[in-house]
Amino acid sequence: MAFSRALISSLVLIFLLFSLSEARDILVGGKNDSWKIPASESESLNRWAEGYRFQIGDSLVWKFDPQTDSVLLVTKKEYVTCNTTSPIAEYKEDNSKVKLDRSGPFYFISGAQGHCDKGQKLTVVVVSERRGYMGLSPAPSPMENEGPAMAPTSSASGLKAGMMVMILGSLFGMVLF
């Protein structure tokens, strides 16, 4: 009986770890026409990005007209100066997808002449694995969202994980700790 409980507890925890850390495809800006010059500071893509906890393995998806624009992955210096001459990478297709393959900041600017200077740029910070982040985010589903992202709260992640463990534990009639 004790072996069965330990086995079930282990399997449930393994399932939780894998299911909660899945990589996501995140639509930049939360809607199809977000990669554009913002009308105001409040419409900045950087404000949108503050509502997410980006993880290693997530992918950013851009939707834009490739006839008139592109996305450039650049260094911080090129981001600040809006220098489009030597990007790290250039994405020229609608539905361009960029995998976030490391922790730290990623800098993106528009490849269209003058757009970056008018605010069409994005900084994304990917959470370090060392911080113990388990993939829980209070933000809405990135590909389904058509509105602004909700601001994260410090207790939401722990609350979700704790609730999941309690629910699963009660289903199996045991304590998982």
* Tokens 């959470």, located at residue: 127
- List Cβ neighbours of 16 (8 Å cut-off, separation of 6 or more): 161, 164, 165, 168
At 104, give phi and psi (nearest 5°).
110, -175
The pLDDT, as a whole number, for residue 8 is 52
Q: Evaluate whether residue 84 is within a structural domain.
A: yes
Q: Evaluate whether residue 7 is within a structural domain.
A: no
Q: Evaluate whether residue 56 is within a structural domain.
A: yes
The pLDDT, as a whole number, for residue 157 is 44
| Other residues' Cβ atoms within 10 Å of the Cβ of residue 124 | 20
Q: Evaluate whether residue 74 is within a structural domain.
A: yes
Contact 108, 73 (CB under 8 A): yes
Q: Evaluate whether residue 137 is within a structural domain.
A: yes
The pLDDT, as a whole number, for residue 112 is 96
Q: Evaluate whether residue 88 is within a structural domain.
A: yes
Look up the domain containing 148 and give its range. 23-152
pLDDT digits (tens, 9 = 90+) for 13-38: 444 444 455 789 999 999 888 999 99
Per-residue pLDDT of the chain (177 residues; tens, 9 = 90+): 555 555 455 444 444 444 455 789 999 999 888 999 999 887 899 999 998 899 999 999 999 999 999 999 999 999 999 999 999 999 999 889 999 999 999 999 999 999 999 999 999 999 986 654 444 444 444 443 443 343 344 344 444 445 444 444 554 555 544
| Other residues' Cβ atoms within 10 Å of the Cβ of residue 151 | 9
The pLDDT, as a whole number, for residue 86 is 95
Instruction: Please state the pTM of the whole predicted model.
Output: 0.64
Q: Evaluate whether residue 131 is within a structural domain.
A: yes
The pLDDT, as a whole number, for residue 22 is 76
Residue 54 to residue 23: CA distance in whole angstroms: 9
Residue 22 to residue 2: CA distance in whole angstroms: 31
Residue 69 to residue 93: CA distance in whole angstroms: 9
* Tokens 């450039």, located at residue: 72
Q: Evaluate whether residue 159 is within a structural domain.
A: no
Q: What is the CATH number of the domain that holds 133?
A: 2.60.40.420
Contact 100, 128 (CB under 8 A): no
Q: What total number of domains does the chain contain? A: 1
